[in-house]
Structure 1
């Protein structure tokens, strides 16, 4: 560990990252500039601690500082997290730097637990690259190895649970992904020089808990358009599985065969508050990863908006909704079923069909808190739909058969809805699924695989949103050609165009009403 730290001392300017000099990083810390929170971390050589730019502690001398692009890089260099600014509370932007799609996909897999039961070679194979190449890309873009990134995530999650919950230390260890309580204690003793229990006792009481569950804060980079994402989820909420009320989203969820309930609300700051009720604490990292994915908490709206605003047509849309996110999906199979149900029908009709599907095949959930919220079932698993006459629920027989075939395919291979080597190979694999065409494949890639460049260019609403003054819409090839300038953030361009298209009928209705009123007044 000391050897790594000597390396970091020798080259502080290089470790600052790809796009900032040492002096720029230093200035960000001196001014406690929140714009750089989550972008850079500063290590203090005299104390062995690394901090966020917004740390309230007095900045050290320049010669005692070194900078890192990620918390994992700082920790791998031998620095330990600050107890005052709490690096685990910073927005996680590592996957959204736009520098390496392979690294972004790898980070998504690590967050979902790919390194808990596997190694770097397995991770690299899933991404279609060699192990040495993956290690090189991680060092280049994140300043740390894949193993260090996974370990840092584990430590920071454990530290967050220690600070924010009343979970016993044994459950914290399991929830954070440590193989044993002994390993958990050894890691904290080595990193912080004290036991996890002492770390909790040394902090001011800021812990909270849900009835029978836990409550955690999930930070994001502002601005955040909660109303937009709440409206998106509300329009598609399946009765019994999801309940959306003003400033609260709740749903049932199944992870590795275990059912639970999550409730998400906006916090009094730059974070969301998640209440999680699951009987197995080992499911916690996967649940948190899904919440972060659905609510798109890793996005950097400033970076994305700056790039997309270069298009004159998108600039006013982004100015109107600077915090708009691209909502993710809770489960790949569920999203694929929803997408197939919604082919050639309205969102409301698709939601009603999904409700029938859940009533017929969804397993009931026995939880008094869930019942109080109006949550009664979980979405059906692929195995539950195999061999069923789904068309009997009221849809074309071909569509019902496609859903049954999809269920059979996914039941045989659960890894279908995971990131691939690149977007093109992901679209090819998804398009091979029963009932999935180009549009549906792009939609799944956008919401489930979290591909920021996925773009369903054949979507009528996208074409309609870019109609010219005479009402002429671009064709699918024309829209695809125009979208090249939006890369690598085409998924967010699509979200802004969908949002704009959704308000057009309302705007037209208001204009029509005003025209009639003016006509009456003129008469």
Structure 2
């Protein structure tokens, strides 16, 4: 009897996390509703597998189904991934439900590899909470422990690499974060009842390896405003480090001392295609995590848009760009340098200064594929800027000194740009950095720490975008007060306002031109 009561309580917690009851979950599977892909997973008691709502297999009887909010919860309960609907191909929305900022930050750290060499206690310390509290939050919001989440991410990435690439199994094991090939084989044998090689032989790879690298698909929740995000990145692209075209983004990247190239293009479906060339396959999880972060693939645009549309001023902006994302950053130090360079000057001028910085201190890359794309340098590391006269590149001496001091600080503590216990503590820590004020701290929190509620309320473009019909724009404090209604998605509100502000001059110019023609 007590066991039955505990089962009922567990199911009640799961349905509370999903905000759906059993009937609603089953209906999503009966109709194969793609809106719930990534939100719920079904475990089939008779087969021991778990599936996505869009699985093409016949929907099991109700009494044989149990539902989970995450793939990790299903896997921890003893179910294995379906080979037909492939749960590793579903959009990952766990970090963006707005239910627990601590869990969201923990998931970001796990995706970046925090659990590969550490444990739950170390992860909890980085987040400023106790390990028991972190385990409780994971159970409450994700239905699985941090260890299970990390293990599931490794398994699903490995499974994706098996299906989508021709990497040898030994490299798949290393690329997906397994400490050894033996552990990799044991995990797959235990989970699927067969060695990993059989999975590849049972299904032809969906994508061939890129020359000298690999190609993977990275799913997202539609719609996706590719033009919006590529426009944002293009305006800030540093020559030699980044090369941007309307349907392709390419850049150089350094991970743990290894240098490589990433090329991202829109896919034929609800996914982006990432072509990754790195000399060390162990860097692959970190590179994929960065691609997902920069292109904001974990966002749920319907959820965020519905919330922001409650403000009459934001509603038309959301309707105009329903798939707008908040672009992330490739590297915290690089973003901080860019932000400091851009203080009190235009985006174009800041880009020019960044190009001079890279040309003077960036590391050259000799990869022929990179050179063919117009990529020649990797953004300089903090060590390369320590002790340099950066102001000689053509900026105020105070700003050059601030950059050198920032480089020295980050070189001494590379963990500065990692998530904190909360947004307030993150802003306080960032504001203590040389050359970083409130605006810059909020901007770094928005793009590097991926804080969905970060909001640089003193930004002139945000205030300008909310100018009323009488020509009055809000003050910084008035904007801050108004933004309280947009929480916890103020970062996305800022992105909509920036996008609107960027097109206003063009609209004004077109209006004046039309008026002249009419006259």
Q: TM-score normalised to the size of structure 2? A: 0.98
Distance in 2 between the 1:221 and 1:440 partners? Answer: 29
Partner of 1:300: 300
Out of 200-209 and 107-116, give the one that drifted further.
Answer: 200-209
1:33-83 deviation per Cα after TM superposition (whole angstroms, max 9, x unaligned): 000000000000000000000000000000000000000000000000000
Distance in 1 between the 2:86 and 2:206 partners? Answer: 13
Alignment partner of 2:104: what SS?
helix
Deviation at 1:207, TM superposition (A): 3.1
Equivalent positions of 1:204-283 (< 5 A) are: 204-283=204-283
- The verdict on how the C-alpha distance between 1:182 and 1:401 changes in structure 2, with shifts beyond 3 A counting, is same
1:105 aligns with 2:83: no
- Is contact 2:361-2:384 (8 Å) kept? yes
- The verdict on how the C-alpha distance between 1:180 and 1:5 changes in structure 2, with shifts beyond 3 A counting, is farther
Partner of 2:391: 391
Distance in 2 between the 1:154 and 1:245 partners? Answer: 32
Alignment partner of 1:272: what SS?
strand
Alignment partner of 2:502: what SS?
helix
Distance in 2 between the 1:343 and 1:35 partners? Answer: 41
Distance in 2 between the 1:376 and 1:461 partners? Answer: 33
1:16 aligns with 2:31: no
- Is contact 1:13-1:66 (8 Å) kept? no
Partner of 1:157: 157
Distance in 1 between the 2:120 and 2:12 partners? Answer: 28
Partner of 1:123: 123
Distance in 2 between the 1:190 and 1:207 partners? Answer: 27
Deviation at 1:6, TM superposition (A): 12
Alignment partner of 1:505: what SS?
helix
Deviation at 1:285, TM superposition (A): 0.2
Distance in 1 between the 2:179 and 2:6 partners? Answer: 30
Alignment partner of 1:303: what SS?
helix
Distance in 2 between the 1:7 and 1:30 partners? Answer: 28
Distance in 2 between the 1:10 and 1:95 partners? Answer: 24
1:132 aligns with 2:124: no
Partner of 1:491: 491
Alignment partner of 1:416: what SS?
coil
Alignment partner of 1:275: what SS?
strand
Distance in 1 between the 2:185 and 2:199 partners? Answer: 11
Distance in 2 between the 1:184 and 1:207 partners? Answer: 22
Structure 1 gaps, min length 5: none
Deviation at 1:426, TM superposition (A): 0.2
1:105-155 deviation per Cα after TM superposition (whole angstroms, max 9, x unaligned): 000000000000110001001101000000000000000000000000000
Distance in 1 between the 2:423 and 2:205 partners? Answer: 45
Distance in 2 between the 1:251 and 1:5 partners? Answer: 55
- Is contact 1:9-1:66 (8 Å) kept? no
Equivalent positions of 1:16-415 (< 5 A) are: 16-18=15-17, 19-415=19-415
- Is contact 1:8-1:66 (8 Å) kept? no
1:310-355 deviation per Cα after TM superposition (whole angstroms, max 9, x unaligned): 0000000000000000000000000000000000011111001000
Deviation at 1:204, TM superposition (A): 3.0
1:473 aligns with 2:512: no
Distance in 1 between the 2:281 and 2:205 partners? Answer: 22
Distance in 2 between the 1:176 and 1:195 partners? Answer: 16
Alignment partner of 1:16: what SS?
helix
Distance in 2 between the 1:463 and 1:250 partners? Answer: 33
Distance in 2 between the 1:61 and 1:394 partners? Answer: 70
Distance in 2 between the 1:221 and 1:209 partners? Answer: 25
Alignment partner of 1:250: what SS?
strand
- The verdict on how the C-alpha distance between 1:11 and 1:338 changes in structure 2, with shifts beyond 3 A counting, is closer
Out of 395-404 and 206-215, give the one that drifted further.
Answer: 206-215
Partner of 1:453: 453
1:488-511 deviation per Cα after TM superposition (whole angstroms, max 9, x unaligned): 000000000000000000010111
Distance in 2 between the 1:271 and 1:236 partners? Answer: 24
Distance in 1 between the 2:14 and 2:503 partners? Answer: 46
Distance in 2 between the 1:319 and 1:405 partners? Answer: 44
Distance in 2 between the 1:257 and 1:5 partners? Answer: 53
Deviation at 1:298, TM superposition (A): 0.2
Alignment partner of 2:275: what SS?
strand
Deviation at 1:12, TM superposition (A): 4.2
Alignment partner of 2:56: what SS?
coil
- Is contact 2:126-2:420 (8 Å) kept? yes
Alignment partner of 1:59: what SS?
coil
- Is contact 2:165-2:205 (8 Å) kept? no
- Is contact 1:128-1:420 (8 Å) kept? yes
Deviation at 1:203, TM superposition (A): 1.0
Distance in 1 between the 2:183 and 2:165 partners? Answer: 21
Structure 2 gaps, min length 5: none
- Is contact 2:266-2:272 (8 Å) kept? yes
- The verdict on how the C-alpha distance between 1:269 and 1:9 changes in structure 2, with shifts beyond 3 A counting, is farther
Distance in 2 between the 1:356 and 1:510 partners? Answer: 35
Alignment partner of 2:230: what SS?
helix
- The verdict on how the C-alpha distance between 1:479 and 1:149 changes in structure 2, with shifts beyond 3 A counting, is same
